Homo-oligomer: A and B are copies of this chain.
Amino acid sequence: MIIVLKRDIDEKGVNSLIGEITGNYEVQVQPIKGSECTVLGLVGDTSKIVVEELGSDERIHKVMRVREPFKKANRAFHPANSIIQIADRTIGGEEFAIIAGPCSVESEEQIVEIAKSVKTSGATFLRGGAYKPRTSPYAFQGLEEDGLDLLKLARQETGLPIVTEIMYPQTIEKFVEDVDVIQVGARNMQNFALLKELGKTNKPILLKRGLSSTIEEWLMAAEYIMAGGNDNVILCERGIRTFENYTRNTLDLSAIPAIKKLSHLPIIIDPSHATGFSYMVEPMCMAAIAAGADGVIIEVHNNPAKALCDGPQSITPARFDEVVRKMEKYTAIEGRTIRRG
Protein backbone atom coordinates (compact mmCIF):
# COMPACT_ATOMS: atom_id res chain seq x y z
CA MET A 1 0.00 0.00 0.00
CA ILE A 2 1.25 3.45 -0.93
CA ILE A 3 0.46 6.61 1.03
CA VAL A 4 1.15 9.98 -0.56
CA LEU A 5 1.49 12.74 2.03
CA LYS A 6 0.47 16.35 1.58
CA ARG A 7 3.15 18.77 0.43
CA ASP A 8 3.48 20.64 3.70
CA ILE A 9 4.18 17.72 6.03
CA ASP A 10 7.67 18.11 7.51
CA GLU A 11 10.01 15.40 8.73
CA LYS A 12 8.61 15.47 12.26
CA GLY A 13 5.10 15.06 10.90
CA VAL A 14 6.19 12.18 8.72
CA ASN A 15 7.80 10.36 11.63
CA SER A 16 4.80 10.88 13.84
CA LEU A 17 2.46 9.46 11.20
CA ILE A 18 4.74 6.45 10.66
CA GLY A 19 4.58 5.82 14.40
CA GLU A 20 0.78 5.87 14.36
CA ILE A 21 0.54 3.51 11.40
CA THR A 22 2.95 0.95 12.77
CA GLY A 23 1.15 1.21 16.11
CA ASN A 24 -2.24 0.48 14.55
CA TYR A 25 -1.39 -2.13 11.91
CA GLU A 26 1.09 -4.96 11.55
CA VAL A 27 3.06 -3.34 8.78
CA GLN A 28 6.47 -1.83 8.16
CA VAL A 29 6.71 1.63 6.65
CA GLN A 30 9.37 2.83 4.19
CA PRO A 31 9.37 6.54 3.37
CA ILE A 32 10.45 8.00 0.02
CA LYS A 33 11.30 11.69 0.18
CA GLY A 34 10.50 13.35 -3.11
CA SER A 35 11.07 16.89 -4.28
CA GLU A 36 7.41 17.76 -3.83
CA CYS A 37 6.21 15.44 -1.12
CA THR A 38 6.89 12.29 0.83
CA VAL A 39 5.47 8.91 -0.08
CA LEU A 40 5.17 6.02 2.38
CA GLY A 41 5.36 2.40 1.26
CA LEU A 42 3.57 -0.04 3.61
CA VAL A 43 4.90 -3.59 3.65
CA GLY A 44 3.13 -6.48 5.39
CA ASP A 45 -0.49 -7.54 5.85
CA THR A 46 -2.42 -4.51 4.61
CA SER A 47 -5.66 -6.44 4.01
CA LYS A 48 -7.20 -5.08 7.23
CA ILE A 49 -6.62 -1.47 6.28
CA VAL A 50 -9.64 0.20 4.73
CA VAL A 51 -8.39 2.68 2.14
CA GLU A 52 -11.20 5.15 2.73
CA GLU A 53 -10.54 5.24 6.44
CA LEU A 54 -6.83 5.78 6.21
CA GLY A 55 -7.35 8.43 3.57
CA SER A 56 -9.28 10.53 6.08
CA ASP A 57 -6.16 11.67 7.85
CA GLU A 58 -5.60 15.37 7.24
CA ARG A 59 -1.92 14.78 6.57
CA ILE A 60 -2.60 12.30 3.79
CA HIS A 61 -3.08 13.29 0.14
CA LYS A 62 -3.92 9.91 -1.34
CA VAL A 63 -3.83 6.19 -0.53
CA MET A 64 -3.19 3.69 -3.29
CA ARG A 65 -3.55 -0.05 -2.96
CA VAL A 66 -0.83 -2.04 -4.70
CA ARG A 67 -2.51 -5.43 -4.61
CA GLU A 68 -6.08 -6.70 -4.88
CA PRO A 69 -8.12 -6.77 -1.65
CA PHE A 70 -9.63 -10.21 -2.35
CA LYS A 71 -7.84 -13.34 -1.22
CA LYS A 72 -9.89 -16.51 -1.47
CA ALA A 73 -11.08 -15.51 -4.94
CA ASN A 74 -7.57 -14.46 -6.01
CA ARG A 75 -5.74 -16.53 -8.58
CA ALA A 76 -2.43 -15.48 -7.06
CA PHE A 77 -3.17 -17.72 -4.08
CA HIS A 78 -4.99 -20.45 -6.03
CA PRO A 79 -3.37 -20.77 -9.48
CA ALA A 80 -5.53 -23.65 -10.79
CA ASN A 81 -9.03 -23.07 -12.19
CA SER A 82 -11.82 -23.90 -9.76
CA ILE A 83 -14.12 -26.57 -11.12
CA ILE A 84 -17.55 -26.56 -9.51
CA GLN A 85 -19.30 -29.95 -9.21
CA ILE A 86 -23.10 -29.93 -9.62
CA ALA A 87 -24.78 -33.32 -9.57
CA ASP A 88 -22.87 -35.34 -12.20
CA ARG A 89 -21.61 -32.36 -14.14
CA THR A 90 -19.14 -29.50 -13.71
CA ILE A 91 -18.71 -25.80 -14.46
CA GLY A 92 -15.23 -24.39 -14.95
CA GLY A 93 -13.57 -27.48 -16.40
CA GLU A 94 -13.55 -28.98 -19.87
CA GLU A 95 -17.35 -29.14 -20.12
CA PHE A 96 -18.97 -25.99 -21.51
CA ALA A 97 -22.13 -25.24 -19.50
CA ILE A 98 -25.39 -24.34 -21.24
CA ILE A 99 -28.09 -23.20 -18.84
CA ALA A 100 -31.41 -22.68 -20.63
CA GLY A 101 -35.05 -22.14 -19.80
CA PRO A 102 -37.79 -19.56 -19.52
CA CYS A 103 -37.62 -16.25 -17.70
CA SER A 104 -40.47 -17.32 -15.40
CA VAL A 105 -41.89 -20.70 -14.51
CA GLU A 106 -45.53 -20.44 -15.57
CA SER A 107 -47.06 -23.93 -15.49
CA GLU A 108 -46.14 -27.60 -15.31
CA GLU A 109 -46.78 -28.03 -19.00
CA GLN A 110 -44.63 -25.03 -19.90
CA ILE A 111 -41.59 -25.84 -17.79
CA VAL A 112 -41.57 -29.58 -18.51
CA GLU A 113 -41.97 -29.02 -22.23
CA ILE A 114 -39.17 -26.46 -22.37
CA ALA A 115 -36.94 -28.60 -20.17
CA LYS A 116 -37.32 -31.61 -22.46
CA SER A 117 -36.77 -29.52 -25.53
CA VAL A 118 -33.65 -27.71 -24.37
CA LYS A 119 -32.20 -30.95 -23.04
CA THR A 120 -32.59 -32.56 -26.47
CA SER A 121 -30.79 -29.61 -28.05
CA GLY A 122 -27.89 -29.80 -25.62
CA ALA A 123 -28.70 -27.73 -22.53
CA THR A 124 -26.91 -29.05 -19.46
CA PHE A 125 -28.88 -27.13 -16.80
CA LEU A 126 -32.45 -25.86 -16.57
CA ARG A 127 -33.12 -22.26 -15.54
CA GLY A 128 -36.47 -20.71 -14.60
CA GLY A 129 -37.58 -17.92 -12.31
CA ALA A 130 -39.84 -18.82 -9.36
CA TYR A 131 -39.24 -15.64 -7.33
CA LYS A 132 -38.96 -12.66 -9.68
CA PRO A 133 -37.35 -9.31 -8.83
CA ARG A 134 -39.50 -6.79 -10.69
CA THR A 135 -38.92 -3.06 -11.00
CA SER A 136 -42.64 -2.48 -10.47
CA PRO A 137 -44.58 -3.72 -7.41
CA TYR A 138 -47.58 -4.14 -9.72
CA ALA A 139 -45.88 -6.63 -12.06
CA PHE A 140 -46.12 -10.43 -11.73
CA GLN A 141 -43.78 -11.53 -8.91
CA GLY A 142 -43.44 -15.19 -9.88
CA LEU A 143 -45.14 -18.44 -8.74
CA GLU A 144 -42.79 -18.54 -5.73
CA GLU A 145 -42.96 -21.88 -3.85
CA ASP A 146 -45.17 -23.42 -6.50
CA GLY A 147 -42.57 -22.42 -9.05
CA LEU A 148 -39.88 -24.31 -7.14
CA ASP A 149 -42.08 -27.41 -7.09
CA LEU A 150 -42.58 -27.21 -10.84
CA LEU A 151 -38.84 -26.86 -11.39
CA LYS A 152 -38.27 -30.00 -9.31
CA LEU A 153 -40.82 -31.81 -11.43
CA ALA A 154 -39.02 -30.73 -14.60
CA ARG A 155 -35.74 -31.94 -13.12
CA GLN A 156 -37.30 -35.30 -12.34
CA GLU A 157 -38.51 -35.61 -15.90
CA THR A 158 -35.22 -34.63 -17.55
CA GLY A 159 -32.40 -35.09 -15.09
CA LEU A 160 -31.30 -31.50 -15.68
CA PRO A 161 -30.01 -29.78 -12.52
CA ILE A 162 -31.97 -26.59 -11.79
CA VAL A 163 -30.76 -23.00 -11.43
CA THR A 164 -33.08 -20.37 -9.94
CA GLU A 165 -32.87 -17.01 -8.20
CA ILE A 166 -33.21 -16.45 -4.47
CA MET A 167 -34.73 -13.23 -3.15
CA TYR A 168 -35.67 -13.86 0.49
CA PRO A 169 -33.11 -14.88 3.12
CA GLN A 170 -35.83 -16.82 4.94
CA THR A 171 -36.11 -19.19 1.96
CA ILE A 172 -32.46 -20.25 2.00
CA GLU A 173 -33.13 -23.56 3.69
CA LYS A 174 -35.74 -24.48 1.11
CA PHE A 175 -33.45 -23.45 -1.74
CA VAL A 176 -30.57 -25.51 -0.35
CA GLU A 177 -32.84 -28.51 -0.24
CA ASP A 178 -34.63 -28.02 -3.54
CA VAL A 179 -32.33 -26.47 -6.12
CA ASP A 180 -28.92 -27.32 -7.56
CA VAL A 181 -27.51 -23.86 -8.15
CA ILE A 182 -28.76 -20.78 -6.24
CA GLN A 183 -28.68 -17.64 -8.33
CA VAL A 184 -27.99 -14.23 -6.75
CA GLY A 185 -29.40 -11.54 -9.03
CA ALA A 186 -27.58 -8.41 -10.13
CA ARG A 187 -29.63 -6.20 -7.79
CA ASN A 188 -28.61 -8.32 -4.80
CA MET A 189 -24.90 -8.59 -5.61
CA GLN A 190 -24.09 -6.35 -2.67
CA ASN A 191 -26.89 -7.58 -0.40
CA PHE A 192 -24.29 -8.58 2.15
CA ALA A 193 -26.90 -10.01 4.52
CA LEU A 194 -27.86 -12.54 1.85
CA LEU A 195 -24.25 -13.25 0.80
CA LYS A 196 -23.24 -14.05 4.37
CA GLU A 197 -26.06 -16.57 4.73
CA LEU A 198 -25.15 -18.22 1.45
CA GLY A 199 -21.56 -18.44 2.65
CA LYS A 200 -22.73 -20.76 5.41
CA THR A 201 -24.14 -23.30 2.93
CA ASN A 202 -22.16 -25.46 0.54
CA LYS A 203 -24.47 -24.96 -2.44
CA PRO A 204 -23.07 -23.72 -5.75
CA ILE A 205 -23.92 -20.02 -6.08
CA LEU A 206 -24.35 -18.28 -9.43
CA LEU A 207 -23.33 -14.70 -8.60
CA LYS A 208 -24.48 -12.18 -11.19
CA ARG A 209 -22.48 -9.00 -11.60
CA GLY A 210 -24.25 -5.88 -10.33
CA LEU A 211 -25.34 -3.37 -12.95
CA SER A 212 -22.78 -0.84 -11.81
CA SER A 213 -20.26 -3.08 -10.08
CA THR A 214 -16.61 -3.01 -10.91
CA ILE A 215 -14.79 -6.28 -11.42
CA GLU A 216 -13.12 -5.74 -8.05
CA GLU A 217 -16.43 -5.25 -6.22
CA TRP A 218 -17.81 -8.33 -7.93
CA LEU A 219 -14.88 -10.42 -6.73
CA MET A 220 -15.30 -8.91 -3.24
CA ALA A 221 -18.94 -10.09 -3.29
CA ALA A 222 -17.65 -13.57 -4.17
CA GLU A 223 -15.18 -13.16 -1.31
CA TYR A 224 -18.11 -12.59 1.09
CA ILE A 225 -19.53 -16.00 0.18
CA MET A 226 -16.13 -17.69 0.24
CA ALA A 227 -15.13 -16.06 3.53
CA GLY A 228 -18.10 -17.88 5.07
CA GLY A 229 -16.69 -21.20 3.90
CA ASN A 230 -18.51 -21.76 0.59
CA ASP A 231 -16.02 -21.91 -2.28
CA ASN A 232 -18.60 -22.96 -4.88
CA VAL A 233 -19.02 -19.63 -6.61
CA ILE A 234 -19.74 -19.24 -10.33
CA LEU A 235 -19.59 -15.69 -11.70
CA CYS A 236 -22.06 -14.47 -14.32
CA GLU A 237 -21.54 -11.35 -16.46
CA ARG A 238 -24.93 -9.97 -17.55
CA GLY A 239 -24.21 -6.49 -18.81
CA ILE A 240 -23.30 -3.28 -17.06
CA ARG A 241 -25.14 0.00 -17.06
CA THR A 242 -23.67 2.61 -19.37
CA PHE A 243 -24.86 5.65 -21.32
CA GLU A 244 -25.66 3.44 -24.33
CA ASN A 245 -29.36 2.61 -24.35
CA TYR A 246 -29.81 0.86 -27.66
CA THR A 247 -29.03 -2.38 -25.85
CA ARG A 248 -30.61 -2.86 -22.40
CA ASN A 249 -27.13 -3.00 -20.82
CA THR A 250 -23.61 -3.22 -22.22
CA LEU A 251 -22.26 -6.78 -22.21
CA ASP A 252 -18.66 -6.56 -20.96
CA LEU A 253 -16.97 -9.52 -22.62
CA SER A 254 -13.53 -8.26 -21.63
CA ALA A 255 -14.58 -9.25 -18.13
CA ILE A 256 -13.92 -12.85 -19.17
CA PRO A 257 -10.13 -12.55 -19.67
CA ALA A 258 -10.04 -10.14 -16.72
CA ILE A 259 -11.68 -12.65 -14.36
CA LYS A 260 -9.53 -15.47 -15.74
CA LYS A 261 -6.43 -13.41 -14.91
CA LEU A 262 -7.50 -12.17 -11.47
CA SER A 263 -9.40 -15.18 -10.19
CA HIS A 264 -9.70 -18.96 -10.40
CA LEU A 265 -13.50 -18.91 -10.34
CA PRO A 266 -15.53 -19.94 -13.41
CA ILE A 267 -17.39 -17.28 -15.39
CA ILE A 268 -20.45 -17.62 -17.60
CA ILE A 269 -22.30 -15.09 -19.78
CA ASP A 270 -25.97 -14.08 -19.95
CA PRO A 271 -26.50 -12.61 -23.45
CA SER A 272 -30.30 -12.48 -23.09
CA HIS A 273 -30.52 -10.05 -20.18
CA ALA A 274 -27.39 -8.13 -21.16
CA THR A 275 -28.59 -7.10 -24.58
CA GLY A 276 -32.38 -7.38 -24.31
CA PHE A 277 -32.58 -8.58 -27.93
CA SER A 278 -33.18 -12.13 -29.10
CA TYR A 279 -31.27 -11.42 -32.30
CA MET A 280 -28.10 -10.78 -30.31
CA VAL A 281 -28.20 -14.09 -28.41
CA GLU A 282 -26.40 -16.07 -31.11
CA PRO A 283 -23.50 -13.67 -31.85
CA MET A 284 -22.93 -12.95 -28.14
CA CYS A 285 -22.89 -16.67 -27.28
CA MET A 286 -20.26 -17.30 -29.93
CA ALA A 287 -18.25 -14.30 -28.77
CA ALA A 288 -18.45 -15.52 -25.16
CA ILE A 289 -16.97 -18.89 -26.11
CA ALA A 290 -14.27 -17.24 -28.19
CA ALA A 291 -13.37 -14.98 -25.28
CA GLY A 292 -12.94 -17.95 -22.95
CA ALA A 293 -16.22 -18.20 -21.02
CA ASP A 294 -17.08 -21.41 -19.13
CA GLY A 295 -20.72 -21.34 -20.11
CA VAL A 296 -23.79 -19.34 -21.09
CA ILE A 297 -27.25 -18.86 -19.63
CA ILE A 298 -29.97 -18.34 -22.22
CA GLU A 299 -33.68 -17.53 -22.08
CA VAL A 300 -35.81 -19.90 -24.14
CA HIS A 301 -39.59 -19.71 -24.41
CA ASN A 302 -41.78 -22.32 -26.03
CA ASN A 303 -44.94 -20.57 -27.05
CA PRO A 304 -44.47 -17.64 -29.38
CA ALA A 305 -48.24 -17.48 -29.81
CA LYS A 306 -48.54 -16.33 -26.20
CA ALA A 307 -45.49 -14.13 -26.65
CA LEU A 308 -47.13 -11.29 -24.73
CA CYS A 309 -45.86 -12.92 -21.55
CA ASP A 310 -42.25 -13.46 -22.57
CA GLY A 311 -39.32 -11.13 -22.87
CA PRO A 312 -38.11 -9.81 -26.21
CA GLN A 313 -34.76 -11.35 -25.40
CA SER A 314 -36.06 -14.94 -25.39
CA ILE A 315 -35.43 -17.29 -28.29
CA THR A 316 -37.58 -20.22 -29.40
CA PRO A 317 -36.54 -23.85 -28.86
CA ALA A 318 -35.92 -24.19 -32.60
CA ARG A 319 -33.62 -21.16 -32.59
CA PHE A 320 -31.93 -22.48 -29.45
CA ASP A 321 -31.16 -25.71 -31.25
CA GLU A 322 -29.45 -23.81 -34.08
CA VAL A 323 -27.45 -21.76 -31.58
CA VAL A 324 -26.22 -24.89 -29.78
CA ARG A 325 -25.21 -26.48 -33.06
CA LYS A 326 -23.11 -23.44 -33.86
CA MET A 327 -21.69 -23.34 -30.33
CA GLU A 328 -20.35 -26.85 -30.84
CA LYS A 329 -18.14 -25.59 -33.64
CA TYR A 330 -16.75 -22.81 -31.48
CA THR A 331 -16.20 -24.87 -28.32
CA ALA A 332 -14.33 -27.42 -30.45
CA ILE A 333 -11.73 -24.78 -31.33
CA GLU A 334 -11.31 -23.97 -27.67
CA GLY A 335 -10.91 -27.65 -26.78
CA ARG A 336 -14.12 -27.80 -24.79
CA THR A 337 -17.06 -30.15 -25.03
CA ILE A 338 -20.80 -29.75 -24.82
CA ARG A 339 -22.25 -32.69 -22.92
CA ARG A 340 -25.38 -34.15 -24.45
CA GLY A 341 -28.21 -35.12 -22.15
Contacts and interface: CB of A to CB of B under 8 A. Distances in A.
Interface of A: 2, 4, 7, 20-21, 24, 30, 32-37, 39, 41, 43-44, 47-48, 50, 52-58, 61-62, 64, 66-67, 69, 76, 133-140, 167-170, 187-188, 190-193, 196, 210-212, 214-217, 220, 223-224, 227-228, 240-247, 250-254, 256-258, 261, 274-280, 283-284, 286-292, 304, 307-314, 326, 329-330, 333
Given A243-B214, A330-B333, A333-B329, A169 B169 contact: yes
Contact of A244 (B138, B240, B313): B240
B32 A41 contact: yes
Nearest to A329: B333
Contacts of A34: 41, 43-44, 66
Contact of A193 (B139, B169, B215): B169
A64 B304 CA distance: 22
B136 A311 contact: no
A2 B270 CA distance: 29
A229 to B, nearest CB: 11
Nearest to A56: B312
A287 to B, nearest CB: 4
A47 to B, nearest CB: 6
Interface centre among A76, A251, A278 (most CB of B within 10 A): A251
Given A4-B66, A35-B44, A61-B66, 10 more contacts: A37-B67, A39-B41, A50-B134, A56-B308, A187-B191, A214-B243, A240-B244, A244-B252, A250-B254, A254-B284
A202 to B, nearest CB: 17
Given A43-B33, A227-B138, A252-B244, A286 B291 contact: yes
A243 B284 contact: no
Nearest to A242: B242
A257 B240 contact: no
Given A43-B33, A139-B50, A261-B279, A244 B223 contact: no
A138 B72 CA distance: 12
28 contacts: A2-B2, A36-B66, A36-B67, A37-B67, A50-B139, A52-B311, A56-B310, A56-B311, A57-B312, A64-B64, A135-B190, A137-B220, A137-B228, A187-B191, A212-B243, A240-B243, A243-B243, A245-B245, A250-B254, A253-B284, A254-B275, A254-B280, A254-B283, A254-B284, A257-B279, A257-B283, A283-B291, A326-B333
Contacts of A55: 312
B37 A308 contact: no
Nearest to A135: B220
Contact of A50 (B7, B57, B136, B290): B136
B20 A308 contact: yes
Contacts of A276: 52
A212 B211 contact: yes
A240 to B, nearest CB: 6
Contacts of A64: 2, 64
A240 B252 CA distance: 11
A269 to B, nearest CB: 10
